Amino acid sequence: MTDKVRTRSNSPAKTGDVQSQPSSRRRFLSHGMAVAGSTLAAGVAASAATAMAAPLVIPESNKSTGKPMPATEYGLPSKFEKHVVRRRTDVFVNRQNWSDWSMTPLQHQPGIITPNGLIFERHHAGTPDIDPATHRLVVHGLVKQPLSFSMDDLARYPSVSRFYFHECSGNGLTDWLKPASNTVQQTHGLLSGVLWTGVLVSTLLEEAGIDPKAKWALFEGADGSAHIRSIPIEKLLDDAMIVYAMNGEALRPENGYPVRAVMPGWEGNTSVKWLRRIKLGEEPWHFRSETARYTDPMPEGKWRQFSMVMECKSVITSPSGGQAMKGPGFYEVTGLAWSGAGKVRHVDVSFDGGKNWREAKLEEPIMDKCLTRFKIGWNWEGGPAVLMSRAVDSTGYVQPSVQDLQKTRAIVGFVQHHNAIQPWIVSAKGEVSNGIGKA
Amino acid sequence: MALAKLKFFAAVTAAALAVLGCAGTNSMSVKTANGIPMGATGPHPVQPLPDKPHFGKAISEADIALWNIDIRAPDGKGLPPGRGTVAQGSSIYQSKCIACHGADAKGGAMYGTMVGGIGSFTGSPRVLTPGSMYPYAPILFDYIRRSMPMDRPQSLTNNEIYAVSAYLLSLNGLLPADGAVDQTSLPKIMMPNRNGFVVDDRPDSNAVRCMSNCK
């Protein structure tokens, strides 16, 4: 018996070959129109009530044993999911990859949680490799008693776990006035949904004893850029976290291992990774990262500073840029909505470029400063269409258009905080493309 | 113990009510003392710790000194003693910076120019350099010390950092070619973009939730 199992387990390649056949649908989705013509024709035929499915044969997986269980293993996705990966920007190609960013494949993400291997990255001097046994977090400055915490110390506090969206302020910066990105991964992929676990910043600050003169604190990383931001004390006493875990396991190195800050609802870079130091002070420090960078161009040559909140936003993830419709008929149009100012209250979807809107269904749970999944049924009749989503949050704020934001901001260069409505153009042939600036 | 628990729950309830009490207000209007919009307050009250565990180890500021490298840019608080000339900075630049930033800091293999752009912000493109963008000169010292050179950050001496700062200021026309900077003089340099920043005043749009025959 043992021999038999072993023999069968030695032929995974053959099994793999057989199983690779169903992946044609996936290739069709990701590669789009190269194969869309013929598949569309098939799709039209299949939509007829008389369409017949192909006869079934017994799949190889039913006729053999699978891979035996290894003694230990960190599980990985199926080999047929290799296309679901983070990707650096295709538009703004950096000449080095230490200060760079990679994006979450939102078009492949169901639900509201991003798997740890797909959470977007942005770092300023590469990913450090930090030993948790020697890492220390210090709290000092305007406190009664400066404190040093080991990772073991931090793990002893009563833990807090909270779901939040996480978004880079630069999300969408290549696509304000005309399309530069082809997919939702490229237009909106500096966005992830995470369950963070750690301890509230306020717990540690209170232990150190906050000097009443302290109004701001700097957060500094242990990476090669020693990335640093000034954060107002109000946020630190509200919901700011120090986290050591994400989605049920230790932070990944690229996301701040062994410990990072999380500033819920605020621009991603304020959630300093590889956190080593918190220093309380009377006023902000005006670091390069909050003057020359992470500021927003405004009219008359000005710059908006300390624009922390990521405002209410939404995007349709399916159908989205680079995908192809599979013939006329029913589609579930779905996407993500979020707000750094509270909860998502409504998402409306337009199929005619913003002239008429229908309210989508929001899927529970709907959480504060968290990704919310919206869904709406659509019968595509085969003609051209322009799809848009528009979110409203619990403050009553309505997601604006680019034109709305242009009334007050200067859209010039690398503009952060793009939370405007994203149009996707569906052609009569069913090709889906980026409609920013066109619709 | 029972009393402590009761107090604990009372505190949680009171805090929760306080949060609920704000639910109807526009939370973007919650602002810090400096006028920075905060977004909504959190979904939960600050976590009460009835037993107040203390796991931090006391440490002296002296023992944090090597990590305590931040410079408060507006007044230069934290700048260490030291001095560097433009000429010294040029020499250091040739050996440690030029590979990425190019000759005369005009852009190289990795990064764009660090020179010029002053006066460009009212047009397009806005050219962002330390000269055009930094509102305070001590940002140069802080950033070079913490992040540069990229392959060996925190390797320069204080004098070297002052020198490279002086060199970049000189290339941007903000310091004479025979100039130098130190702890006292660096914060006094008037940067062109000193008054170029406005505090976050969002929300700055008034989109309406129109449902039919819009636009």
Predicted confidence (pLDDT) at residue B151 exceeds the cutoff of 90: yes
Predicted confidence (pLDDT) at residue A191 exceeds the cutoff of 90: yes
In the predicted model, what is the mean pLDDT of residues B134-140? 98
Predicted confidence (pLDDT) at residue A126 exceeds the cutoff of 60: yes
**CATH number, position B172:** 1.10.760.10
In a domain, A289, yes or no: yes
Cα separations (Å) of A375 from A107, A317, A372, A388, B95?
A: 14, 10, 10, 13, 58
Last residue of a domain, one of A81, A105, A130: A81
Report the percent of chain B where pLDDT is more than 90: 74
**What's the pLDDT at B22?**
37
In a domain, A12, yes or no: yes
Predicted confidence (pLDDT) at residue A38 exceeds the cutoff of 50: no
Predicted confidence (pLDDT) at residue B49 exceeds the cutoff of 80: no
Check CB contact under 8 Å for B27 and A342. Answer: yes
Let me know whether A371 and A348 are in one domain. yes
Q: A273: domain range?
A: 116-304
Last residue of a domain, one of A260, A280, A304: A304
Tokens representing A249?
């396991």
**CATH number, position A430:** 2.60.40.650
In Å, how far is A297's CA from the nearest CA of chain B? 9
> Chain A window 374-433: which residues touch B at a Cβ cutoff of 8 Å?
390, 392, 394-401, 404-405, 407-409, 412-413
**What's the pLDDT at B44?**
52
**What's the pLDDT at B39?**
77
Q: What is the pLDDT of residues A349-370, one digit of tens each?
A: 999 999 999 999 999 999 999 9
**What's the pLDDT at A13?**
36
Let me know whether A403 and A369 are in one domain. yes
> Chain A window 277-306: which residues touch B at a Cβ cutoff of 8 Å?
277, 279, 281, 283-288, 291-292, 295, 297-298, 300-306
Predicted confidence (pLDDT) at residue B130 exceeds the cutoff of 50: yes
In a domain, A326, yes or no: yes
- Site of tokens 């000034």: A230
Let me know whether A287 and A347 are in one domain. no
- Contact status of A90 with chain B (Cβ, < 8 Å): no
E strand map for A284-371: 296-298, 302-305, 313-318, 329-338, 344-350, 358-359, 361-363
Going by C-alpha positions, the residue among A76, A77, A78, A84 that lies closest to residue A108 is A84
Domain count, chain B: 1
- Contact status of B20 with chain A (Cβ, < 8 Å): no
Point out the least confidently predicted range of A272-276, A310-314, B20-24: B20-24
In the predicted model, what is the mean pLDDT of residues B129-143? 98
Check CB contact under 8 Å for A156 and B68. Answer: no
Let me know whether A257 and A327 are in one domain. no
Let me know whether A279 and A330 are in one domain. no
In a domain, A91, yes or no: no
Q: Which of B61, B199, B206 is opposite residue A140, by nearest beta carbon?
A: B61
Give me chain A's average pLDDT, please. Answer: 91
- Site of tokens 């400096």: B34
Alpha helices (H) in B37-157, listed in sequence order: 61-64, 86-96, 98-101, 130-133, 138-147
Let me know whether A124 and A221 are in one domain. yes
In a domain, B11, yes or no: no
**What's the pLDDT at B215?**
80
**What's the pLDDT at B27?**
46
In the predicted model, what is the mean pLDDT of residues B148-159? 97
Which residues of chain A make contact with B69, given a CB cutoff of 8 A? 226
Predicted confidence (pLDDT) at residue B185 exceeds the cutoff of 80: yes
In Å, how far is A124's CA from the nearest CA of chain B? 9
Point out the least confidently predicted range of A12-16, A79-83, A130-134, A140-144: A12-16
Q: B111: domain range?
A: 73-188
CA angle in degrees (0–180, nearest 5) for B84-B90-B95:
110
Burial of A6 (0-12, 13-18, 19+ CB in 10 A): exposed
User: B140 phi and psi, to 5 degrees?
Assistant: -55, -50
Burial of B130 (0-12, 13-18, 19+ CB in 10 A): buried
Let me know whether A247 and A173 are in one domain. yes
In a domain, B14, yes or no: no
**What's the pLDDT at B43?**
52
User: A281 phi and psi, to 5 degrees?
Assistant: -145, 180
Let me know whether A196 and A222 are in one domain. yes
In a domain, A95, yes or no: no
Going by C-alpha positions, the residue among B198, B189, B143 that lies closest to residue B169 is B189
Predicted confidence (pLDDT) at residue B116 exceeds the cutoff of 70: yes
Q: Which residue of B has its CA nearest to A343?
A: B40
In a domain, A9, yes or no: yes
Q: Which of A125, A355, A412 is opposite residue B153, by nearest beta carbon?
A: A125
d(CA A415, CA A174): 8
CA angle in degrees (0–180, nearest 5) for A408-A419-A415:
60
**What's the pLDDT at B47?**
53
Q: Which one of A96, A151, A286 makes the best mutation probe of the B interface by having the most chain B beta carbons within 10 Å?
A: A286
C-alpha count within 13 angstroms, C-beta hemisphere, residue A178: 2
| DSSP three-state, residue A198 | strand
Predicted confidence (pLDDT) at residue B15 exceeds the cutoff of 70: no
Which residues of chain A make contact with B130, given a CB cutoff of 8 A? 292
Let me know whether A148 and A278 are in one domain. yes
- Contact status of B65 with chain A (Cβ, < 8 Å): no
In the predicted model, what is the mean pLDDT of residues B13-26? 40
Q: What is the pLDDT of residues B154-164, one digit of tens each?
A: 999 999 999 99
In the predicted model, what is the mean pLDDT of residues B12-30? 44
- Contact status of A218 with chain B (Cβ, < 8 Å): yes
Q: Which of B39, B143, B213 is opposite residue A288, by nearest beta carbon?
A: B143
d(CA A321, CA A328): 18
- Contact status of A207 with chain B (Cβ, < 8 Å): yes
Q: Which residue of B has its CA nearest to A390?
A: B209
In the predicted model, what is the mean pLDDT of residues A383-405? 98
- Contact status of B27 with chain A (Cβ, < 8 Å): yes
d(CA A47, CA A298): 51
**What's the pLDDT at B60?**
98
* Edge-first strand listing for the sheet containing B197-199: A296-298, A302-305, B197-199
Q: What is the pLDDT of residues A210-259, one digit of tens each?
A: 999 999 999 999 999 999 999 999 999 999 999 999 999 999 999 999 99
Let me know whether A156 and A290 are in one domain. yes
In which band, very low, low, confident or very high, does the pLDDT at A325 lie, cut at 50, 70 and 90?
very high
In a domain, B102, yes or no: yes
Going by C-alpha positions, the residue among A388, A379, A385 that lies closest to residue A328 is A379
In which band, very low, low, confident or very high, does the pLDDT at B42 lie, cut at 50, 70 and 90?
low
d(CA A312, CA A109): 20
Let me know whether A342 and A296 are in one domain. no
In a domain, B111, yes or no: yes
Q: Does the predicted TM-score (pTM) go above 0.80?
A: yes
Domain count, chain A: 3
d(CA A337, CA A291): 29
Q: What is the pLDDT of residues B98-113, one digit of tens each?
A: 999 999 999 999 999 9
Going by C-alpha positions, the residue among B101, B125, B140 that lies closest to residue A96 is B101
In a domain, A265, yes or no: yes
Q: Which of A149, A305, A401 is opposite residue B198, by nearest beta carbon?
A: A305
**Which position has the higher pLDDT, A161 or A92?**
A161
Report the percent of chain A where pLDDT is more than 90: 87
Q: Which of B49, B64, B197 is opposite residue A146, by nearest beta carbon?
A: B64
Check CB contact under 8 Å for A291 and B133. Answer: yes
Predicted confidence (pLDDT) at residue A3 exceeds the cutoff of 80: no
CB pairs under 8 A between A and B: 268
| DSSP three-state, residue A344 | strand
The complex's ipTM?
0.88
Let me know whether A284 and A341 are in one domain. no
Predicted confidence (pLDDT) at residue B180 exceeds the cutoff of 60: yes
**What's the pLDDT at A439?**
81
In the predicted model, what is the mean pLDDT of residues A177-197? 98
Give me chain B's average pLDDT, please. Answer: 87
Q: What is the pLDDT of residues A56-89, one digit of tens each?
A: 999 999 999 999 999 999 999 999 999 999 999 9
Check CB contact under 8 Å for A96 and B142. Answer: no
User: A376 phi and psi, to 5 degrees?
Assistant: -155, 140
Amino acid of residue A359: E
Burial of B136 (0-12, 13-18, 19+ CB in 10 A): buried
